Copies of this chain bind each other. A is one copy, B any other.
Amino acid sequence: MAKHTIVVLLLSIALFILTQQSLSSQPFKPISSHRAPKFLSGFSTSKLYHHHHRNHNHRRLERLRQYRYETQYFKQHLDHFSFLELPTFNQRYLISLEHWSGPDQLGPIFVYCGNEGDIEWFAANTGFVWEIAPSFGAMVVFPEHRYYGESMPFGSQEEAYKNAATLSYLTADQALADFSVLITNLKRNLSAEACPVVLFGGSYGGMLAAWMRLKYPHIAIGALASSAPILQFEDIVPPESFYDIVSNDFKRESTSCFNTIKASWNALISEGQKENGLSQLTRMFRLCRELKNTEELVNWLDSAYSYLAMVNYPYPSDFIMPLPGHPIREVCRKIDGCPDGTSILERVSEGVGVYYNHTGEVNCFELDDDPHGVNGWNWQACTEMVMPLSSSPDTSMFPTYDFNFSAFQEECWTDFKVNPRPRWITTEFGGKDIMTDLKTFGSNIIFSNGFLDPLSGGSVTQNVSDSIVALNTQEGAHHLDLRAATAEDPNWLVEQRATETRVIKKWLSDYYEAKGASLLSNVETGDRAPSM
């Protein structure tokens, strides 16, 4: 199974892409805005997705077939927070009652918080939830996120993505309200009001799971938030963390590799300024079409390195690209292993081949796969999911860059005719002083992270309290823990999942105890507390 282990990581790219967006807005643009859409996580519906995944589609459905579930649709309000007369839409959700122990046993309900893509894709790639459900006697529900997959307002994707007005209800709060209304209704229909709900989510879905536990504690008793960078907003974490972690992932394999890449940007720009320099670069990097400027190449390389850091798994996998295990190690082997006298640019070209052409089947490389793909995450990034990223001249191997909000804002206006609200997420969900806030309020969240994952820099990686805990792995990358177990899983991954299972069991037993105590106390007192 290792081959398709990392498909779900596609989702995480949402956040990585945000990087690109942020970076793209500086006056001198080493990383252009036109690269950003290439990896957007909404691409399950994009040309890119279909291009790359045409072959996987069959396999994906096969994987899904292991799990018995039904596809259902639920009528949702388009706006939960106003009473404007608006058309409703159908939210898709997958549901499995196969292993559920039922309402009389207070059988738990496992809900995966769908993120920015087709829900079948998540269901197929979140094996952990399916695998632990039977031993818990749990129902499994995968609700789809509005504006993705089949859950389109206004009847179709085309209408939903028409303009800023039709897109305006694509927000995290609305998505959480969808989940809450759906779960509440489901429970009522199944007479399962007292059955405890546990949330799961990875990447943006992990952020939703954590936020939902905080905002709807009466609906879910706990949340496993895997690789959920809920602190990657405003100035909570250093904006350099993302690129610093990517850079460290290379440095730990080889300092000379790190240095070569760091030196390559100037070499590249110098080369590009020569007569016929762009043609020379086009040939050297085996691009399918002539470079228009060096910026295009910078973006293409930046993307490969950042991606590699996220999918830097200990075994072979295929995400957008088929990759070997420890892919960064392989890249650095190529870069370092060139004969003496090989130029910096030739080394880098060899290295990036591991990412773009591991199978050796590609004759030339495309620079822009999907410039016109519809993309919901771009909208989200331009409205509330404003996650500033910078690149430090000292610790990053990437071109130096300081996040520039004004430029970012301008670009969002050009693209969507919308103004970002960069402070909304921290106002709505907190984060600024999360250690103090959550120490005295809230419970039952696991924040799981792998420290190779560049998004771990924006996540919660310290224990907050007894029941809000960080579960870190030094060697893990982006939300591997949510994937189905495989024979190749290293011990630390097996242990991480076992701990997660144990913690979830504890949440449930605490709930049953509180529930029992509360029933008992109602019986005992029969009425009100003593009064003054």
- Give chain A's interface residues, CB within 8 Å of chain B: 77, 79-85, 164-165, 167-169, 171, 173-174, 177, 180-181, 184, 193-194, 214-219, 221, 383, 417-419, 421, 423-424, 426-437, 439-444, 451, 461-463, 470-474, 492, 495-496, 499, 510-511, 514-515, 517-518, 521-522, 525, 528-532
Contacts and interface: CB of A to CB of B under 8 A. Distances in A.
How many chain copies does the complex carry? 2
Contacts of A164: 83-85
A442 B441 contact: yes
A528 B418 CA distance: 37
A529 B462 contact: yes
Contacts of A77: 421
A274 to B, nearest CB: 44
A93 B417 CA distance: 31
A470 B521 CA distance: 15
Given A221-B440, A433-B515, 18 more contacts: A80-B81, A83-B171, A83-B383, A84-B164, A84-B168, A177-B427, A193-B432, A194-B433, A217-B430, A218-B431, A218-B432, A218-B437, A436-B518, A441-B444, A472-B529, A474-B532, A492-B532, A499-B532
Nearest to A424: B80
Contact of A81 (B79, B85, B433): B79
Given A215-B215, A451-B531, A168 B83 contact: yes
Given A83-B167, A194-B433, A423 B461 contact: no
Given A442-B442, A462-B525, A528-B462, A81 B434 contact: no
10 contacts: A81-B173, A82-B82, A181-B427, A193-B432, A217-B437, A436-B514, A439-B514, A451-B528, A461-B528, A472-B532
Chain B CB within 10 Å — which of A80, A421, A428, A443 has the most?
Answer: A428
Contacts of A429: 218
A440 B173 CA distance: 23
Contacts of A417: 85
Nearest to A499: B532
Nearest to A170: B83
A436 B81 contact: no
B532 A184 contact: no
Contacts of A427: 177, 180-181, 184, 219
A79 B80 contact: no
B82 A171 contact: yes
B217 A442 contact: yes
B174 A81 contact: yes
Please list the 5 inter-chain residue pairs (A to B) with the smallest Cβ-Cβ separation, ordered nearest first.
A218-B430, A472-B531, A81-B81, A217-B441, A218-B437
A511 B436 contact: yes
A436 B513 CA distance: 9
Contact of A531 (B215, B421, B444, B473): B473
Contacts of A530: 472
Nearest to A188: B423
A430 B463 CA distance: 27
Contact of A495 (B215, B423, B514, B532): B532
Nearest to A465: B514
A424 B178 CA distance: 11
A434 to B, nearest CB: 7
Nearest to A181: B427
A87 to B, nearest CB: 14
Contacts of A528: 451, 461-462, 470, 472
A531 B474 contact: yes
Chain B CB within 10 Å — which of A419, A421, A518 has the most?
Answer: A518
A79 B473 CA distance: 41
Contacts of A81: 79-82, 171, 173-174
B518 A439 contact: yes
Nearest to A462: B529
Contacts of A165: 84-85
A532 B444 CA distance: 20
Chain B CB within 10 Å — which of A194, A419, A424, A510 has the most?
Answer: A424
A529 B463 contact: yes
A496 B532 CA distance: 7
Contacts of A522: 435
Contacts of A496: 532
A418 B83 contact: yes
A444 B442 CA distance: 11
Given A83-B164, A83-B418, A433-B194, A180 B440 contact: no
A215 B427 CA distance: 11
